Structure 1
Amino acid sequence: MDLVERIARFKAPKYISAYMDILHLHFGQVDRNDLIEREFDIGIQLEFGVSSRTLISPMELGLSRMSATALYEKIARDKLSQEECREWVADRAAQFEGMNIPAVIVRELRERLLSGADARPAD
């Protein structure tokens, strides 16, 4: 595990970051900046163990990996920001029980992503 820890958390991000810097430089030189993915952060993706912005956003907001994964499966989009995830949850808060999401995950969604009156189940 020590080897995995050293490679996944330190060496891989360092070398991949250097590679990405070179790739960005090359794309700039050949006037293909449209090929550069600005939001790609290998360090964060390795830290969280996910590759989708929509999976990372809820975890950054405090959700567990299990809850973030369940939410991601319902959202079915890859590039939602933290705020967009909050909005998606708020817009569908009254529908959670009908989405086949486990009660423990619904409770976490309500506690972490909704505030005040929005967190209460609909009557």
Structure 2
Amino acid sequence: MPSAAPPPYPTIAEMDMELDDRFAAAAFRRLLGHLRSRPEVQNIDLMILAGFCRNCLADWYRDAATAGGPPLDREAARELVYGEPFADWRMKHQREATPEQLAAFEASQRRHSVAEPGA
């Protein structure tokens, strides 16, 4: 039986880091656009379902930026993620968490308390 032809594209292992970083950056920008277009999705709901929220993304971005260059402050990182100053976004879009959301958040903390991949 003949072996399958190799894929017409490079595998992840074959990609160089620069190319991989370009793809990761494009995916990150797409994620930011997706979140910016859905401000009705509350951070607490993201935390309950996925274990991270917009603020986490801003913190991770700030950590990466600071590790690779000049320090980036928290508010600048949040503005990058939210697409506007965090205080403005919060006034326009953030709602008070319901008792049900708070209970679900507490329960999710046990589920999401594993170490972050790559950390």
Instruction: Name the structure where helix makes up a greater proportion of residues.
Output: 1
TM-score (norm. length: structure 2): 0.28
Name which structure has the greater RCO, CA cutoff 8 Å, separation 6+.
2
